[in-house]
Amino acid sequence: MKRPAQKAFLLAVGIVLITLIAGCEEEANLPDTKRSRLIAAENMRLEKELEQRDKEIKQQQELLEKCLQEKNAWKEKAQQNIRKQVDSILTVVMEKNEELRKENEGLKAQIEKLKAELEEAKK
């Protein structure tokens, strides 16, 4: 009778060992599952953050484009104003130059007239 009792005992010990080993494997898998879930949750959070950053970058790029367009518009307006002022000044200078030329011609005529009168007076 010793033999069946030993066999039963060995069988019971074997079952207990197999159960413990299987339980340990499940416990070992459990942290991996939790870790995987945490990693997945973190990845989802990071993806949402990345999407938000991409939206912000796109908004900033649109704002930059708008600012560059406004800058170019102001630059063009400034150039137009400069052209108008230069044209205005150039017109004034040309008019003044024409007045001085006429005055100069008049003075030359007067000088010639006075020289002729002086020559007449000397004779």
Q: Per-residue pLDDT tens for 37-93?
A: 889 999 999 999 999 999 999 999 999 999 999 999 999 999 999 999 998 898 999
Q: Three-class SS of residue 109?
A: helix
Q: And the tokens for 38?
A: 């945490």
Q: In the chain, what are the domain boundaries?
A: 34-98
- The continuous run of DSSP H or E covering 94 comes out as helix 2-122
Mean pLDDT value across the chain: 86
First to last CA, the chain: 178
Q: And the tokens for 104?
A: 């100069």
**Distance (Å, rounded) from C-alpha 38 to C-alpha 32?**
10
Mean pLDDT of 96-115: 92
Residue 27 has pLDDT above 80, yes or no: no
Task: Count the alpha carbons within 13 Å of 4 in the hemisphere toward its beta carbon.
Answer: 1
pLDDT for the residue numbered 1:
46
pLDDT for the residue numbered 29:
55
Measured over the CA atoms of residue 12, residue 13, residue 16 and residue 17, the dihedral's sign is negative
Residues in the chain: 123
Query: Is the full-model pTM beyond 0.85?
Result: no
Q: And the tokens for 108?
A: 């030359």
